[in-house]
Structure 1
Amino acid sequence: MHSRYLLSLFIFLLSNSLFAQPLKLWYKQPARNWNEALPVGNGRLGVMVFGREDEELLQLNESTLWSGGPVKPNPNPEAKTYLPQIRKALADENYERATSLTQKMQGRYTESYEPLGDLVIRHSLSGKPTNYYRDLNISDAVATTRFSVDGVTYSRDIFVSAPDQIIVIRLTADKPGKLNFTASTKSPLRHQNIAISSREIGFNGKAPSHTDPNYVDYNPQPVSYDDASQCRGMRFAMRMRALPSDGTVTADTSGLRVSNATSIVLLISAATSFNGFDKCPDKDGKDEIKLVNNYLNAAARKSYTALKQAHETDFHSFFNRVSLTLNDNKDVALPTDERLMNYASGTVDPALESMYYQFGRYLLISSSRPNGTAANLQGIWNPHVRPPWSSNYTININTQMNYWPAEVSNLSEFHQPLFSLISNVSKTGYATSRDFYGTGGWTAHHNTDIWAESNPVGDLGKGSPLWANWALGGAWLSQHLYEHYRFTGDRNFLQETAYPLMKGAAQFCSDWLVPDKNGYLVTAPSTTPENVFVLPDGKKGEVSVATTMDMSIIRDLFTNVIEASTILNTDADFRKQISDKTSKLYPFKIGKKGNLQEWYQDFDDVDPQHRHVSHLFALHPGRQIAPLTTPDLAAAARKTLDTRGDGGTGWSKAWKINFWARLNDGDHAYKLLRELLRISGVEGTNYANAGGTYPNLFCAHPPFQIDGNFGGIAGMSEMLVQSHLDDIYLLAALPSQWQSGQVKGLRTRGGFEIVEMGWRDGKVNKVVIRSTIGGNCRIRVPNSLKASNNVALKPASGANPNSLFQGPTTSNAQSATQVYDFMTKAGQSYTLTMQ
């Protein structure tokens, strides 16, 4: 009896130690809905794992599976004829007429990201399941489901391999011959099930030629498949093969049946005919069946162990670059959903916060791979034919937010799909600039898609100008190009990729600007996504002149282009032209309430607590407003945030975390982080309009949008390390709740890596900095440091010409911090400790 008790105790302790791994999301029950399922992916293939016992559901995606086809040129030939009329109406302050005319300058809506299908695994079980457990190990990118029935323990392990481009599912029973199930596939798109052999099934299908956005309700056929030109509606294919096992396997078009097995591995391959944004996906498409078979045949020649080892080696090479410990990081031996419930009630759980940070990095690795597609509004995970907001690329904040953490969290390579998207959009954007506005360069608007749509969306006048006609999506996207250079110092990237694209965006902006009555250069028409103003007579307006967001983005772009052309020693004449125009841009204005003015005039807001705070772009992600350099404007930004309040959707809260971090207010940023992590979507949590986090740690817009996850961890990075000015500011916005901790692997602008930083009582006690490209390193810290390996530290006394940082000198701007310079060599690490 005593030995049995000890054995039971040992099993209990062992099980709980497994359950309590800090980098595992785990649960005591299956997912009841999609927002409780667990995501795995390799950037191209995605799976949502529900973890059901007798009828498992795996929802599948392939990142290139979209409706539609290449963009049709010049969808609104009359568009630019309205521009002079709009500008005349704005000069006359006839905002109502300006809005109605602007609405006439719209093209078509974007297309939609589509689901691939479902895999349903139906087990033959004779009893009630017990000892249920499921998890997502984000350290290894493997999802596991385990339960017992009649003394038999069943397990399912699922991962999506990037090296082998395959979904791998291993099913096991811990007693011989007890594994009996059927596996069937289906798709919500047009498809045909097929049986290839006794061990392989699949389907072939065709995506819609057009899918209306989910908010469009005026067309009788919102999803259509007819396209005689073969330029719209890509083909797709999926195959599932069972590898040899000890059981019996049979298959037909209804599914694959496994009998009397102990263990079996299923491989799933999928592909589409997508062959580029400008190629007809049907008649000029890739051979999707050949692609599927090549992936499947290559993977089938390998063992499960070899497939998993290759997957984990690849994943670890990225994920393991960064670690984060907050306070003691003491883990809580509770399921993730219960931890979230406790956290919402006020429980302190720093290990949950650090796991949330790593989960965001996990999602970026899993949804945005080099040479693949960029992460969309839902990453790569979407179950709907008409997904929320078409699951497209919303480029007035959301797509950009997806990539805010890429550089700082040491995932620079995963930024590359966005650069490819920008390049594609620029090509259609040149035509949009010419056809809609009669301007040079390239531009893009509120939305784009895999086909690189760049026109103002709205279905030829049915959309609202307050979002559809905002014309600076290309200018904002261009910031990411220069940020990649600022972090890496990659001169070849700057010269060959970034600068040409940035210059094209600047050419559009240069032509788009017009002088106002006072000689300032302004944008007209201009909107501020997605807010509305009130005129003195009580009327509402959407279209204005020189919104602060517009002017901030253009100022940011022009600054970056000037710096880049100087670094490359090219385009002196264009640089002077842009420099001259920069000096004439409509300036920032502080409103009557002490806030940063959002519009050309000091209008009131229709919704003073609107979720968008677009006019603070210069604070974040820009670098034109900062407490250290522009204290009056920073104070106005703070007043704006106080007025807007802390409410908002998931991504809105995430942006506000970044704003407050840039204002060096760590406690306010932390307050919003706790609100972002407030559990949503379960009983007793009704946060329909307040954002939050679902039980699977997906961000609740609501519904799910992945940008909130990415924006949230970008804000956490800003709380720990900032480098947007001319120094590396350590613990720039450290909240009082994170008085001790350690972070390893973060990157900064200037080509530096924080190999290790430890802090105690809010002060840095040790930092190891590695230089990747050499040059001057300037650090700002909350306490004095000394060099422990003969680093020649010196107080900063001015901008160093060898530094990649191009911002103003800030060495005396904040007396509470210490600022040091020291020269570095590429590849060398430097250790500094508390004095």
Structure 2
Amino acid sequence: MKKSLFLLLGLALTGYAQTPQPLKLWYTKPAEYFEEALVLGNGKQGATVFGGTKTDKIFLNDITLWSGEPMNTRMNPEAYKHLPAVREALKNENYRAADSLVRKIQGKFSESYAPLGTLYLDFDHENARNYYRDLSLDQATAHVSYETQGHQIKREYFVSHPDKVFVIHLTSSAKGTLAFRIRFDSKLKYAIHSSVNHLHANGTAPVRADPNYIRKKDNPIQFRPDQGTRFSTDVLIQSADGSVTRTDSTLSFSGGTEAVVLVSLATSFNGFDKSPSKEGLNDDLIAQKQLEAASQVPLTQLKSRHKADYQKFYQRVSLNLGGPQATDIPTDERLRRYATGAKDPYLETLYFQFGRYLLISSSRTPGVPANLQGLWNPHIQPPWSSNYTMNINAEENYWLAENTNLPEMHQSFLGFLDNLEKTGRVTAQTFYNMPGWVCHHNSDIWAMTNPVGDFGNGEPSWANWPMGAAWASTHLWEHYQFTQDLPFLRTKAYPIMKGAAEFCLAFMVPDAKGRLMTSPSTSPENKFLTSAGYVGQTSYGGTADIAMIRELFLDVLAAEKVLKNDQLFASKIQEALGRLLPYQIGVAGNLQEWYFDWKDEDPKHRHQSHLYGLYPGNHVSVAETPSIAAAARKTLEIKGDETTGWSKGWRINLWARLQDGDHAYKMYRELLKYVEPDGVKVNYQRGGGTYPNLFDAHPPFQIDGNFGGAAAVAEMLVQSTTDQVVLLPALPAAWDSGSVSGLKTRGGYTLSMQWVKGKVVKYTLTRPGGGKPKVRVNGVWK
């Protein structure tokens, strides 16, 4: 292709892409199940709208409402004394003993994310016709409309970040015919009362909510009157016509044509280390003030503020994957058609942008990131506590933050790491007698970092995994690479990265050949089969550990090279890096997961943690480490493609890094496999997919698959280092022609490009202050 076909760096994007179609989810009937409902959020407050005609059920959430109080970081103060015995058992290859002894190095389970309550709008609408509901991704607004009794009812919903309220706008086409009743309920302890046009609910979350997979004889949900996080909900009906009547627990509106319902939520959460009951915020006052302030703002202004705030993030990225862009097919029907093999680039684009929508909607609270269910949870014992699962899921939530141009949303997670570092230093001391900080399998809003397992009841394969800090800390360097924010690197990122590296340095021991490795070591949630036939969980020198440590050490060295402020520590890291246990290739050509070439108990296990260096790490690549990349590919081939939702999201990114766009696309299609709503029912055998409302079916719902899948689309279109950018590294044949604008690359560049018949025909890479990376275009470096 002639050089004249390319736009040079810095040229304008005039005429780049077709005008993007409005992106929306839409349906022809109300939701019956959670997995059909439409979700809204402002990064802290969330609403799940069912859109019924007789009763509109709306789940309410606040991302700071969790069970529990700040944890006792010294819950097992002498746990470290058991570490030598575990290491001795491993030295003697006694894996059964190690599996037993390591349970003594465990602490409490995490707390659970709590549902705030349910708002009900009761109507008298029978035999509704021409029903329609949608969620506009372009405006972060949901709509419901239908005809009943000779007139049309319309409802509009949004959750405003600027005005901190959930807004419901109701209208009737016939004057004086709008009527409804509002009531509130909660699975938590609460009380409710009314005042003129207002409904007030106040309550408290449990002080303890055991994980849903724990079976104990005593009550798994415990409330105490003097402990736990408080919440307040204030509801107001506004209308220029009609009248409002009330009981102690309801508001009723009648005789009107138009009404606005404002809902304000607040909790007493005041930080991970402050008791919400004794040192908490005044949630009642906060909820009242939010409602009072919003009530003074006209509806048109509430809507315009909300739209402007949301779109400044959402509109940064536009994607067109070519082909038919029909919008006249309901989303659930689209999914069913897609599962039969139908082409639908609109649906593929919709899923990508839905991931970005979800992150904007669930991750704008300082120090409180999106959890396993993002922001939307109706269960008092949600799946896996709806916590922060640090061995993949919490991190996968943020894989799309930087490359899809949402670095502000990343801040919730990066700020959370600051909290983890503080508790993690105590955990490093009490559980290992080591410096630095450490984090394990699970965490929660209280920044829990201890090994979980209820003091000995957890399986070591997940309970005792100690690499959470190493993995999560790499997000700090990622944020710097994409933003080039030097003050952030100096004051926030590097100290946390260094602390995680300090623990890793202390935790590693030499093997018989003097190579540094971890002991004890687990590979998240997987088990090995020794030559003697023992199914074990605890070993030494696991590949996943070494991969995460290697990535962290490389990041620390790169950061120090920028900052030039810690040469002595950098020398220690460099020396240790040279002694790390190398990758090993098994007899089957796969990348070994264990120190020895053992088989997995489950060869198709959903986790692939030992492939971390390929993705989300960056030190394994087809170009730089071809033999290791080939072994990673063999591992994926052995595992197969059928797996859970979040795991499929991860594997799509891995195939993209292997530059196999068609295989990545095959799995992207599988990620969008239609799954019928089924509530909370775990069935790993069925594998992952997508529910009617585009939620990821782990199953049950976990939001990480949504985020991982969206990140993978960007990964297929562009890959980068700080000074090199590869365009269309894993473009599938199905996306033969298309365009994208606004993606970010490492080095701080913003990419826009157009491709035709698999070839880039136009592109720009720009950044404030200029600069020009090396770019690979259509296989040629420029």
By the TM > 0.5 criterion, same fold? Answer: yes
- Following the alignment from structure 1 to structure 2, what is the Cα–Cα distance between the partners of residues 725 and 346? 38
Q: Compute the displacement of 1:436 (Å).
A: 0.3
Q: Tell me, yes or no, if the aligned pair for 2:193 and 2:248 is still in contact at 8 Å.
A: yes
Residue-by-residue CA offset, 1:738-759 (whole Å, 9 max, x unaligned): 00000010000001001x2000
Q: Compute the displacement of 1:455 (Å).
A: 0.2
- Following the alignment from structure 2 to structure 1, what is the Cα–Cα distance between the partners of residues 626 and 168? 56
- Following the alignment from structure 1 to structure 2, what is the Cα–Cα distance between the partners of residues 776 and 574? 32
- Give the corresponding residue for 2:12: none
- Give the corresponding residue for 1:575: 570
1:728 equivalent in alignment to 2:686: no
- Give the corresponding residue for 2:11: none
- Give the corresponding residue for 1:759: 755
- Following the alignment from structure 1 to structure 2, what is the Cα–Cα distance between the partners of residues 772 and 402? 28
Q: 1:537 aligns with which of 523, 532, 538?
A: 532
Q: Tell me, yes or no, if the aligned pair for 2:737 and 2:756 is still in contact at 8 Å.
A: yes
- Give the corresponding residue for 1:185: 184
- Following the alignment from structure 1 to structure 2, what is the Cα–Cα distance between the partners of residues 269 and 547? 49
Within a 5 Å distance, the mapping from 1:106-255 to structure 2 comes to 106-125=106-125, 127-195=126-194, 197-226=195-224, 230=226, 232-255=227-250
- Give the corresponding residue for 1:467: 462
Q: Compute the displacement of 1:772 (Å).
A: 2.7
- Following the alignment from structure 2 to structure 1, what is the Cα–Cα distance between the partners of residues 433 and 540? 19
1:779 equivalent in alignment to 2:775: yes
Residue-by-residue CA offset, 1:169-223 (whole Å, 9 max, x unaligned): 011101101111111011110000111x220002100110110000001241100
Q: Tell me, yes or no, if the aligned pair for 2:723 and 2:773 is still in contact at 8 Å.
A: no
Q: What is the DSSP-based 3-state SS (H/G/I as helix, E as strand, rest coil) of the residue aligned with 2:90? A: helix
- Give the corresponding residue for 1:606: 601
Residue-by-residue CA offset, 1:657-692 (whole Å, 9 max, x unaligned): 000000000000000000000010259x99863100
Q: Tell me, yes or no, if the aligned pair for 2:659 and 2:730 is still in contact at 8 Å.
A: yes
- Give the corresponding residue for 2:83: 83
Q: Compute the displacement of 1:328 (Å).
A: 3.4
- Give the corresponding residue for 1:453: 448
Question: Which 4+ residue blocks in structure 1 deviate beyond 4 angstroms?
Answer: 685-688
- Following the alignment from structure 1 to structure 2, what is the Cα–Cα distance between the partners of residues 447 and 364? 21
Q: CA RMSD in A?
A: 1.4
What is the one-letter code of the residue matched to 2:693? Answer: N
What is the one-letter code of the residue matched to 1:654? Answer: G
Q: Compute the displacement of 1:245 (Å).
A: 2.6
Q: Compute the displacement of 1:244 (Å).
A: 3.2
- Following the alignment from structure 2 to structure 1, what is the Cα–Cα distance between the partners of residues 753 and 53? 44
RCO higher in structure (CA 8 A, sep ≥6) = 2
What is the one-letter code of the residue matched to 1:818? Answer: V
Q: Tell me, yes or no, if the aligned pair for 2:22 and 2:138 is still in contact at 8 Å.
A: no
Query: What stretches of structure 2 of length at least 5 have no aligned partner?
Result: 1-19
Within a 5 Å distance, the mapping from 1:170-569 to structure 2 comes to 170-195=169-194, 197-226=195-224, 230=226, 232-369=227-364, 371=366, 373-569=368-564
What is the one-letter code of the residue matched to 2:216? Answer: Y
The number of equivalent residue pairs is 760
Q: Tell me, yes or no, if the aligned pair for 1:44 and 1:372 is still in contact at 8 Å.
A: no
Q: Tell me, yes or no, if the aligned pair for 2:367 and 2:412 is still in contact at 8 Å.
A: yes
1:93 equivalent in alignment to 2:55: no
- Give the corresponding residue for 2:591: 596
Residue-by-residue CA offset, 1:720-770 (whole Å, 9 max, x unaligned): 00014751110000000000000010000001001x200001000000111
Residue-by-residue CA offset, 1:229-252 (whole Å, 9 max, x unaligned): x5x411111010011330001223
- Decide which moves more: 247-256 or 505-514: 247-256
Within a 5 Å distance, the mapping from 1:637-652 to structure 2 comes to 637-652=632-647
Q: Compute the displacement of 1:253 (Å).
A: 2.2
1:711 equivalent in alignment to 2:708: yes
Q: Compute the displacement of 1:40 (Å).
A: 0.4
Q: Compute the displacement of 1:775 (Å).
A: 3.5
Q: Tell me, yes or no, if the aligned pair for 2:750 and 2:765 is still in contact at 8 Å.
A: yes
1:819 equivalent in alignment to 2:781: yes
Within a 5 Å distance, the mapping from 1:7-46 to structure 2 comes to 22-46=22-46
Q: Tell me, yes or no, if the aligned pair for 2:367 and 2:416 is still in contact at 8 Å.
A: no
Q: Compute the displacement of 1:539 (Å).
A: 1.0
Task: Rate the CA distance shift 1:710–1:282 in 2: closer, same or farther, 3 A.
Answer: same
- Following the alignment from structure 2 to structure 1, what is the Cα–Cα distance between the partners of residues 382 and 685? 18
What is the one-letter code of the residue matched to 2:98? Answer: A
The percentage of aligned residue pairs carrying the same residue is: 50
Query: What stretches of structure 1 of length at least 5 have no aligned partner?
Result: 1-19, 783-816, 821-835
- Following the alignment from structure 1 to structure 2, what is the Cα–Cα distance between the partners of residues 681 and 268? 31
Q: Tell me, yes or no, if the aligned pair for 1:753 and 1:772 is still in contact at 8 Å.
A: no
Task: Rate the CA distance shift 1:464–1:424 in 2: closer, same or farther, 3 A.
Answer: same
Residue-by-residue CA offset, 1:446-482 (whole Å, 9 max, x unaligned): 0100000000011000111100100010111100000
Task: Rate the CA distance shift 1:717–1:516 in 2: closer, same or farther, 3 A.
Answer: same
Q: 1:701 aligns with which of 688, 693, 698?
A: 698
Task: Rate the CA distance shift 1:131–1:21 in 2: closer, same or farther, 3 A.
Answer: farther
Q: Tell me, yes or no, if the aligned pair for 1:43 and 1:372 is still in contact at 8 Å.
A: no
Q: Tell me, yes or no, if the aligned pair for 1:466 and 1:530 is still in contact at 8 Å.
A: yes
Q: Compute the displacement of 1:563 (Å).
A: 1.1
What is the one-letter code of the residue matched to 1:133? Answer: Y
Q: Tell me, yes or no, if the aligned pair for 2:177 and 2:257 is still in contact at 8 Å.
A: yes
Q: What is the DSSP-based 3-state SS (H/G/I as helix, E as strand, rest coil) of the residue aligned with 2:260? A: strand
User: What TM-score do the two structures reach when normalised by structure 1?
Assistant: 0.90
Q: What is the DSSP-based 3-state SS (H/G/I as helix, E as strand, rest coil) of the residue aligned with 1:237? A: strand
Q: Tell me, yes or no, if the aligned pair for 2:36 and 2:677 is still in contact at 8 Å.
A: no
